[in-house]
Structure 1
């Protein structure tokens, strides 16, 4: 019996169908959820959103927060761009994308920033976190605290690079907020995200976002991200004229599809955004409940208060005496040489006071001033009322006696309290000193070692090395007195030299 052979085409069709059912269909069913947001960067106004509050895997968009904290640390003096960071075995073992750092290698902090921003290097991101907080876990906690301070209410970080990890989640809205803060809070560093390539210390690296930067007019950042669980993510920003738009996409199916969708969203943003809008920069983050520095506050107005006029009757004898003084002054003025303003007679002063109080007509006072040769002075109404309130009071007289002028008792006004600045410390003015060291490096190393050993009380404290004539002091700052005392007691129990540092 003759057996027919199956045609090769049929075998090919069968294999293709099997692959489709086994591989393609499951991947399609597991495709990452889509989310998007378009924001007017100038005002923070949302122009479009879809699933914007759904918590998803951010992938390497995470590195925006890593870099934000790195910029913050440099500006606060926690670390410098030239600080040499020793790469740990853990950081060196991170999977791609990576710079290729080796365990034990030392590299300037600035190159770690470049590699994380441009190359999206996972090993560089982890090294940044370890340099600032001593461990990835401690740095992730700082990332989450910073996110909450920025208003990213649905974001939790577990690592510095964004590789998929349980609980490491964010949203399209939160990442748009992150991008806006990156743009306006640290504009001096923002140019990193628009570089097509850069030197990262050990080699040149290319920008993972270079396709969109080259293809879309006005695009100048910000950050890409991809993992299998997240899909192809991107937070992009573009500026045209007076308008700046931020567009965020989660769950793209490919780099090409993601970039196309982001370009469409940016176009939508430029069409919907007003051509002119007043720039409203986001507020810098507030930590530990400390408010932003307050403007000068006055307890009360510094303007003079108007005092009520007295209703006491004016004695006729005073009027007669004043008129006689005026007549004598006018007669003497026609014969005497021109007087200087400093030579005004007591009689003229009395006449001016009487005129101000309404005792004599104003035109008589004007004639007296003209005779004295003193130009008229413009006086504010409040000053006039102050002058009236200080005029001499009349003492009761006996019949036929000359009136006696008595100096009015001046009530001393309470001193106006002026508050020039409100405290922003929130009580976190104490610190802990863990020794003086011969070099800055040894002091920084001591701080990192101590922070790792005492994370319970020193997590979140500011590490600062202060140069002294005899060495470098290693300090933890930004603590309350209670937390500083507790940290010192715990360190002393471990035989670590320690002393608390009070407010200066």
Structure 2
């Protein structure tokens, strides 16, 4: 009996040991697969004036975007500013959800707010996750709805390999993109919103007494680099989108899946050095068609949003560059940029105030057998925000540049004028106003945001010197 029991225990122990070994082997294999996915790099270099692909390495391979996600968050923010829905000074409320996002973040308390401009600066420099979420909630009513808007806008811009799940790029297995799509987004940001593109070249800013430095170490290191965004999670590896302008030449380059911040930066520097001389000095650079309409969520009728359609990491990735990239990059002093070489934009820290919570998004609507939330119109919002589905009509002095029989035509004229005179209209917001003429509806193309009659007249005079017809009027 004792021998039989001993044999049984011995066999059981052996079986248990075998099972443990098998489980460990499977775990190791899974970890290796996840590691391999993270280590797979992809890259692309595009001539931003002609659209010619100068270099490509698995550019359509699916990757995690990490903080590159915030490029789309900013695209939709710039769009809202250009249409007059929000201004640089519109309060951005921070919900408990936004305030609780993982670092890196600005650190605004729940129930408080900061101006839109501070939220933008904190994203382009610090890659603040809380600011991205707060902007998403402001523009979409909820972060989930905003993610749908982001995906819809991606489709409208031709980014067919991208799905967004949140506004900041924190780990989500259903959020993915490609190097090719990120290059398209980088080009679109410059082409569509040149009046706001300068934010991406900001290397630091002062928030109250706190100096916040940026993550993009190629700014100031490589001639012509003027943005755009870094990104890192353990699953994505080290990502970077760079825009470069040198004389009449322009390119956009993307590196994804770098093994370290330093190696990623070195690879990007090598691509820029190699391919910038091969770019064209001709071409108008209008490569990405601007998505029209005020309701990008409609495009989701043809978008399937898979829940587990990207390789899932075996553990929750570390978030953003400062967690690992700063530790890695700081070892190389030659890559550090002397912040004193560029003026620091000072932003007065605005006293945070309690704000009402944003109303939840409306009930989902059905689209291709999938619930799709409608474009949100918060019932309680900051006073400066015009409801999303209506045209914003700023009061005070405005500059009218044209009128059109269609709203899309008027918006196209606004876009064209913004590109022709980005410095003149840097602080202005474009909008359209419908009016009736003998039973026919027309749309005025106007720019608002001028503080006085003199400011509006001065802007109009500057536009006329650029052969742009206009007149200033009090609205």
- The residue number in structure 1 matching 2:259 is 253
Task: Please give the alpha-carbon distance, in whole angstroms, between the structure 1 residues aligned to 2:381 and 2:166.
Answer: 30
Task: Please give the alpha-carbon distance, in whole angstroms, between the structure 1 residues aligned to 2:274 and 2:206.
Answer: 35
| Contact 2:68/2:169 (8 A) holds in 1 | yes
* Residue 186 to residue 473, structure 1, CA distance change in 2 (3 Å): closer
| Contact 1:78/1:463 (8 A) holds in 2 | no
* Residue 118 to residue 476, structure 1, CA distance change in 2 (3 Å): closer
Equivalent of residue 229 in structure 2, options 223, 230, 239: 223
- The residue number in structure 2 matching 1:460 is 375
- The residue number in structure 2 matching 1:66 is 73
| Contact 1:63/1:160 (8 A) holds in 2 | yes
- Do residues 129 (structure 1) and 126 (structure 2) align? no
- The residue number in structure 2 matching 1:185 is 192
Equivalent of residue 237 in structure 1, options 227, 238, 243: 243
* Residue 118 to residue 271, structure 1, CA distance change in 2 (3 Å): same
Task: Please give the alpha-carbon distance, in whole angstroms, between the structure 2 residues aligned to 1:181 and 1:201.
Answer: 32
Task: Please give the alpha-carbon distance, in whole angstroms, between the structure 2 residues aligned to 1:224 and 1:144.
Answer: 20
Task: Please give the alpha-carbon distance, in whole angstroms, between the structure 1 residues aligned to 2:269 and 2:203.
Answer: 18
Task: Please give the alpha-carbon distance, in whole angstroms, between the structure 2 residues aligned to 1:285 and 1:160.
Answer: 19
- The residue number in structure 2 matching 1:213 is 219
Superposition TM-score, scaled by structure 2 size: 0.58
* Residue 248 to residue 263, structure 1, CA distance change in 2 (3 Å): same
Note the alpha carbon deviations across 1:152-209, whole angstroms, 9 max, x for none. Answer: 0110000001112021000000000000011111111111111120134673311110
Where in structure 2 are the equivalents of 1:305-384 lying within 5 Å? none
Task: Please give the alpha-carbon distance, in whole angstroms, between the structure 1 residues aligned to 2:173 and 2:284.
Answer: 41
Task: Please give the alpha-carbon distance, in whole angstroms, between the structure 2 residues aligned to 1:202 and 1:477.
Answer: 39
TM-superposed CA distance for 1:86, in Å, is 2.1
- The residue number in structure 2 matching 1:154 is 161
Task: Please give the alpha-carbon distance, in whole angstroms, between the structure 2 residues aligned to 1:289 and 1:205.
Answer: 33
* Residue 472 to residue 241, structure 1, CA distance change in 2 (3 Å): closer
Task: Number of aligned residue pairs: give it.
Answer: 302
TM-superposed CA distance for 1:465, in Å, is 9.9
Q: Secondary structure at the match of 1:116?
A: helix
* Residue 78 to residue 33, structure 1, CA distance change in 2 (3 Å): same
Task: Please give the alpha-carbon distance, in whole angstroms, between the structure 1 residues aligned to 2:241 and 2:177.
Answer: 13
* Residue 173 to residue 30, structure 1, CA distance change in 2 (3 Å): closer
- The residue number in structure 1 matching 2:278 is 272
Note the alpha carbon deviations across 1:110-150, whole angstroms, 9 max, x for none. Answer: 11111111211101100100111121101000000110011
- The residue number in structure 1 matching 2:23 is none
Note the alpha carbon deviations across 1:91-120, whole angstroms, 9 max, x for none. Answer: 111111111121112211211111111211
Task: Please give the alpha-carbon distance, in whole angstroms, between the structure 2 residues aligned to 1:208 and 1:86.
Answer: 25
Equivalent of residue 93 in structure 2, options 86, 98, 103: 86
Structure (1 or 2) with the larger CA radius of gyration: 1
Q: Secondary structure at the match of 1:263?
A: helix
Task: Please give the alpha-carbon distance, in whole angstroms, between the structure 2 residues aligned to 1:30 and 1:49.
Answer: 18
TM-superposed CA distance for 1:271, in Å, is 3.0
Task: Please give the alpha-carbon distance, in whole angstroms, between the structure 2 residues aligned to 1:95 and 1:270.
Answer: 37
- Do residues 55 (structure 1) and 72 (structure 2) align? no
Task: Please give the alpha-carbon distance, in whole angstroms, between the structure 1 residues aligned to 2:238 and 2:102.
Answer: 18
Shifted more, 274-283 versus 234-243: the winner is 274-283
| Contact 1:465/1:474 (8 A) holds in 2 | no
TM-superposed CA distance for 1:458, in Å, is 7.2
| Contact 1:61/1:223 (8 A) holds in 2 | yes
* Residue 109 to residue 147, structure 1, CA distance change in 2 (3 Å): same
* Residue 71 to residue 45, structure 1, CA distance change in 2 (3 Å): same
| Contact 1:98/1:121 (8 A) holds in 2 | yes
Task: Please give the alpha-carbon distance, in whole angstroms, between the structure 1 residues aligned to 2:46 and 2:218.
Answer: 18
Note the alpha carbon deviations across 1:61-80, whole angstroms, 9 max, x for none. Answer: 00000000001111122222
Task: Please give the alpha-carbon distance, in whole angstroms, between the structure 1 residues aligned to 2:381 and 2:242.
Answer: 40
TM-superposed CA distance for 1:273, in Å, is 1.7
Q: In structure 2, list runs of 5 or more residues that go unmatched.
A: 1-27, 298-352, 366-371, 392-435, 442-475
Task: Please give the alpha-carbon distance, in whole angstroms, between the structure 2 residues aligned to 1:476 and 1:247.
Answer: 33
